[in-house]
């Protein structure tokens, strides 16, 4: 596990609030919690991964048309 993920998990584990209030919270696995990711996306329009590692041009592929467009771009580059 990467250092950023480990630090994030340990930081959230140190606050009882998260264990008590976030659905499906597993200590040491905060980075993998869908509810935390959805909360970040809803409130800040950024995924948990993008928050920790920075946004990429392929972040948040929503909708079949956008996914198709990105895949076609990748195929042309290959």
Question: Which pLDDT score, from 0 to 100, does residue 2 have?
Answer: 83
What integer best gives the mean pLDDT of the chain? 83
Letter string b/e over residues 55-69, b meaning 16 or more CB atoms within 10 A of that residue's CB: eeeeeeeeeeeeeee
Q: Is the pLDDT at 63 greater than 80, yes or no?
A: no
More confident residue, 50 or 22: 22
Taking residues 56-65, report their average pLDDT.
60
pLDDT class for 17, splitting at 50, 70, 90? Answer: very high
Q: Is the pLDDT at 9 greater than 60, yes or no?
A: yes
């Amino acid at each position: 596990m990467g250092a950023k993920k480990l630090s994030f998990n340990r930081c959230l584990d140190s606050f009882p609030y998260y264990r008590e209030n976030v659905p499906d919270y597993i200590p040491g696995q905060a980075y993998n919690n869908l509810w935390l990711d959805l909360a970040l996306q809803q409130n800040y329009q950024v995924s948990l991964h993008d928050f920790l590692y920075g946004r990429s041009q392929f972040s948040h592929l929503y909708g079949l048309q956008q996914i198709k467009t990105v895949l076609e771009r990748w195929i042309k580059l290959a």
